[in-house]
A = this chain, B = another copy of it.
């Protein structure tokens, strides 16, 4: 999880410039606290403190953060592409920290910290020779509160 100081170092080391826009976008994502923002949401949040920012800059900065592997792209199939700070550690090796639980009734997204995929990854490596560097796991279902609300019969709100 990259902080501002590290981010500045990364930019410097690549010969990239340190701008308010870049720092503010990273800050929004760093303070997301479990939320997953879309480009538009990031744009709106940055505008609160820096109204002159353009949406194109947000798109360009997000692409930059993706290229630098500082953030990850996630798609919850709600029509928006969302982003979150990558959990990748400086020493690399383990990028496997959490999975997403998506409630089909209320649309809420929960994070679950745990990695139990080593077995599966080993099997894939052995059987297919595929070298895994990262994974994305999404579980669709019904959250506790939606199950209780409907007495066990949960109704889908979205596909």
- Residues of chain A having any CB pair with chain B under 8 Å: 63, 66-67, 73, 75, 77, 99, 101, 103-104, 110, 112, 114, 116-117, 119-121, 123-124, 127-144, 147, 154, 159
Contacts and interface: CB of A to CB of B under 8 A. Distances in A.
The complex is assembled from copies of this chain, and their number is 2
Contacts of A142: 130-131, 133
25 contacts: A66-B159, A67-B159, A73-B77, A73-B159, A101-B132, A110-B128, A112-B124, A112-B128, A112-B130, A116-B119, A128-B143, A129-B144, A130-B141, A130-B142, A131-B143, A132-B139, A132-B140, A132-B141, A133-B142, A135-B137, A135-B138, A136-B137, A136-B140, A137-B137, A137-B138
Given A75-B75, A137-B135, A139-B135, A101 B121 contact: no
A103 B131 CA distance: 9
Nearest to A124: B112
Contacts of A128: 101, 110, 112, 143-144
A117 B119 CA distance: 10
B101 A124 contact: yes
A109 to B, nearest CB: 11
Contacts of A159: 63, 66-67, 73
